[in-house]
Amino acid sequence: MKNIEIRVGQSTENLTVNTLCSKLVGVVPTGGYLFECVQDVIGCYVSIQIMEYGVLTICEAQVFATGQSLSPIQSVSKEMHI
């Protein structure tokens, strides 16, 4: 994978309106990579997008949150390991 954007937010219709959590320009190292949000973000949905034409294949993604849940729908997302 290369040139990845990770976004967190409430929208499933248009993922680009969700807050940019992290971005990697270049190739993700073999064995995985820990993405950490540059700021605290709130949302139900995490999207992983490749920013160029191609196929995105993910075997496993783990999303970790810190802080308290704001409601049953929202949570604070801090980091993601791919």
pLDDT band at 75 (very low <50, low <70, confident <90, very high): very low
Report the alpha-carbon distance of residue 68 to residue 58 in Å, rounded: 28
Sequence spans of domains, the chain: 2-81
Q: What is the pLDDT of residue 76?
A: 43
pLDDT digits (tens, 9 = 90+) for 25-57: 888 777 777 888 888 888 889 998 888 877 777
23 strand-pairing partners:
5
Burial degree of 23 (CB within 10 A; 0-12, 13-18, 19+): middle
Mean pLDDT of the chain: 78
| Paired residues of 81 in beta bridges | 34, 62
pLDDT of residue 19: 93
